[in-house]
């Protein structure tokens, strides 16, 4: 099978794009049918074929202007042949599987036009059809790169040990790891398999699965997942899931399945051709038999060939997508806008989407001493750490200095307390900085801190007394409330849903005051994928907005996947729409352009179909002949192009 330029099944004849192959039975052969070889060649060189046709049409027009008849005739015939041969092969392939496609109508019309000497009609119709086909294929082909990007991120090797306390590992290939093996992961290393921690502790960046920016503290008995990153500490683990069974490989599988399900959506022209092509062929056949006028029958085929329809859909797409692109909205095909205009459920990731995706200080408590002095001490201690929370504190300290650089105090000695924080000595004073566990182990009274449960706490104690506390969380985007309110207003019957890998209480705190209909926390990639499938089974059309690797299954599973431009490359690749400027407010503009584009496309379809109907009625009534019909035909093509250009000014 050759679907959208990709070989899937080595069959004697390639399947048409809208037919799924039956299960192959018996042994296969590597010998390819000559017809399939020719068609595969054309499918692999569609762009070159279109360029050749364009050059030939240009030469033909030069011949017409320069009054060189042979150049005009030769250019048009060769252009019709260059584009008509692959169309004819596709039409024959469709007939082999009992499908009457629009390629058959175009092929017969082109052959008939050449027979009766209407060379320009033959060449132009084939060129328009090939242009529309290439525009669609180019947008769908991009999504395949995302799978390669995900596979490239998978762990390739692992450090194998003979027992949980062994610290003399040997490096082995990931394929040589079996369930139950003991593995060692050091700071900065990737977790190679799904497993359970048996010894040691550290902080693991699980953003590829949960989307949350803060590393998760792992200790004995905790689960870890393949593909995540150990940012601090050393852990020994026992392999529980290896190879294709790991969560990371399942994520890749989810993306593949979701992409494949989306590429099965048929083009409008394919659906239209199921009814339109047989009807026009039948009218032409009956007319030829009854009137004994072959030229009239061929004229029906030529005028009935929906040239304006063939170009009307892609030209609206190009204009609408081009206009949106100027505003920093990258849409990957007309089907994307078609789906978005019908969406009734908008599902959002939290971190990096509704929230900014960067830890920031959102709460400050000065419990004893001078606030600026406490902040300076805290920033000095945190300067010794490369933890993401330390970076947030550094940024906060500089911001409090109103643009001036804060002079840090020299740290005489510091010690990392794994999973808890730091102990430092500054000016002879003992400073503790870390979480509640560190403070309790050092018998520090925490009753005065009073920080919200939805924040990550960084506490500081000086000489055994709690003096300073910061709450760090992921703040909302500044335009989140306004954007969601406008989105709710534009799509009155739509529901807005928030899904996140974060804790439920954090999700509810984030969504407080927002027009969100549902909010759910603790969702891993598989959970998001299942939730969207459940919505779709209940008849909803879903748009998912996200930014991370963990969002890629949901982005591909949703009817429309929308990626924030500042997100990961994988999320951008698998999505249907990318908000390049990373402005959440662009969602409103995206929905606006989608609706305008689809309205314009429907107008072009109406113009094209109405033109064909009027041409056929006029032909039978005796008011339309080949020359006048061709003129009207070309005017209709110009009309749909001009109508589409209105989108550029939308």
CA gap 456, 363 in Å, rounded:
10
Helix, strand, coil percentages (3-state) for the chain, rounded to 5, are 50, 20, 30
Long-range CB contacts for residues 530-535, cutoff 8 Å, separation at least 24:
531/347, 531/499, 532/347, 532/557, 532/558, 533/557, 535/345, 535/347
CA gap 619, 636 in Å, rounded:
16
Token representation of residue 484: 């969601």
Q: Tokens 């309205």 sit at which residue?
A: 599
Judge whether 542 and 559 are in contact, CB under 8 Å.
Answer: yes
Catalytic residues: 349
Cα separations (Å) of 6 from 13, 91, 225, 597? 14, 18, 33, 29
CA gap 434, 393 in Å, rounded:
12
Judge whether 25 and 11 are in contact, CB under 8 Å.
Answer: no
CA gap 457, 397 in Å, rounded:
16
- Residue 123's nearest CA partner among 73, 89, 86 is 73
Question: Which burial class, exposed, middle or buried, applies to 254 when counting CB atoms under 10 A from its CB (0-12, 13-18, 19+)?
Answer: buried
CA gap 616, 629 in Å, rounded:
9
User: CB under 8 Å to 59, separation ≥6 — which residues?
Assistant: 71, 75
CA 399 to chain centre: 36
- Residue 119's nearest CA partner among 637, 649, 630, 587 is 630
User: CB under 8 Å to 188, separation ≥6 — which residues?
Assistant: 229, 230, 231
CA gap 599, 309 in Å, rounded:
15
Q: Which residue(s) pair with 326 in the sheet? A: none
- The three-state secondary structure class of 218 is strand
Please work out, in degrees rounded to the nearest 5, the angle formed at the alpha carbon of residue 381 by the alpha carbons of 376 and 387.
Answer: 120
């Amino acid at each position: 099978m050759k679907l959208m330029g990709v070989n899937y099944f080595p069959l004697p004849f390639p399947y048409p794009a809208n037919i799924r192959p039956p299960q192959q039975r018996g042994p296969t052969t590597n010998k390819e049918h000559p017809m399939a070889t020719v068609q595969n060649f054309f499918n692999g060189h569609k762009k070159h074929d279109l360029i050749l046709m364009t050059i030939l049409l240009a030469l033909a027009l030069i011949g017409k202007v320069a009054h060189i008849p042979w150049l005009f005739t030769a250019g048009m015939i060769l252009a019709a042949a260059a584009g008509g041969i692959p169309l004819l092969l596709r039409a024959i392939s469709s007939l082999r599987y009992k499908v009457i496609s629009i390629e058959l109508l175009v092929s017969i019309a082109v052959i008939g036009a050449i027979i009766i000497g209407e060379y320009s009609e033959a060449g132009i119709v084939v060129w328009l059809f090939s242009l529309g086909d290439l525009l669609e294929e180019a947008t769908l082909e991009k999504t395949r790169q995302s799978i390669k990007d995900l596979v490239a991120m998978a762990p390739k090797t692992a450090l194998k040990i003979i027992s949980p306390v062994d610290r003399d590992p040997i490096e082995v290939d990931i394929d040589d790891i079996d369930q139950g093996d003991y593995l060692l992961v050091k700071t900065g290393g990737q977790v190679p398999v799904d497993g359970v921690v048996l010894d040691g502790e550290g902080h693991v960046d699980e953003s590829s699965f949960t989307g949350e920016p803060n590393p998760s503290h792992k200790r004995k008995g905790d689960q870890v997942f393949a593909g995540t990153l150990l940012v601090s500490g050393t852990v020994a683990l026992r392999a529980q899931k290896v190879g294709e069974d790991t969560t990371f490989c399942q994520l890749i599988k989810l993306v593949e399945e979701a992409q494949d399900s989306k590429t099965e959506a048929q083009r409008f022209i394919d659906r239209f051709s199921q009814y339109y092509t047989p009807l026009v062929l039948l009218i032409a056949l009956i007319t030829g038999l009854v009137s004994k006028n072959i030229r009239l029958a061929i004229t029906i085929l030529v005028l009935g060939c929906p040239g304006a329809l063939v170009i009307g859909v892609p030209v609206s797409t190009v204009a609408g997508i081009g206009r949106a692109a100027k505003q920093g909205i990258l849409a990957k095909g007309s089907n994307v806008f078609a789906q978005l205009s019908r969406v009734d459920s908008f599902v959002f990731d939290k971190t990096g989407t509704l929230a900014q995706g960067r830890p920031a200080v959102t709460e400050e408590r000065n419990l004893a001493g001078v606030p600026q002095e406490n902040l300076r001490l805290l920033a000095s201690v945190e300067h010794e750490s490369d933890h993401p929370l330390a970076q947030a504190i550094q940024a906060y300290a500089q911001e409090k200095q109103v643009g001036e650089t804060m002079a840090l105090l020299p740290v005489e000695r510091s010690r990392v307390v794994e999973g808890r924080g730091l102990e430092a000595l500054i000016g002879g004073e003992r400073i503790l900085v870390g979480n509640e566990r560190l403070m309790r182990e050092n018998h520090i009274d925490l009753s005065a801190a009073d920080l919200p449960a939805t924040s990550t706490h960084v506490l500081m104690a000086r000489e055994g007394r709690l003096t300073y506390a910061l709450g760090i969380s992921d703040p909302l985007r500044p335009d989140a409330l306004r954007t969601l309110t406008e989105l709710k207003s534009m799509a009155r019957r739509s529901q807005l849903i928030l899904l996140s890998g974060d804790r439920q209480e954090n999700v509810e705190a984030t969504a407080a005051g927002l027009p969100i209909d549902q909010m759910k926390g603790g969702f891993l990639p598989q959970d998001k994928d299942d939730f969207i499938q459940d919505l779709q089974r209940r008849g909803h059309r879903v748009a998912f907005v996200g930014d991370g690797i963990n969002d890629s299954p949901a982005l591909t599973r949703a009817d429309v996947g929308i990626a924030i431009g500042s997100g990961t490359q994988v999320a951008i690749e698998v999505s249907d729409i990318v908000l390049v400027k990373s402005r959440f407010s662009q969602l409103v503009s995206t929905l606006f352009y989608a609706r305008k584009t689809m309205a314009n496309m429907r107008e072009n379809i109406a113009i094209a179909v109405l033109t064909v109907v009027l041409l056929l009625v006029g032909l039978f009534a005796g008011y339309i002949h080949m020359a006048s019909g061709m003129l009207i035909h070309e005017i209709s093509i110009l009309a749909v192009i001009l109508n589409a250009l209105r989108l550029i000014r939308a």
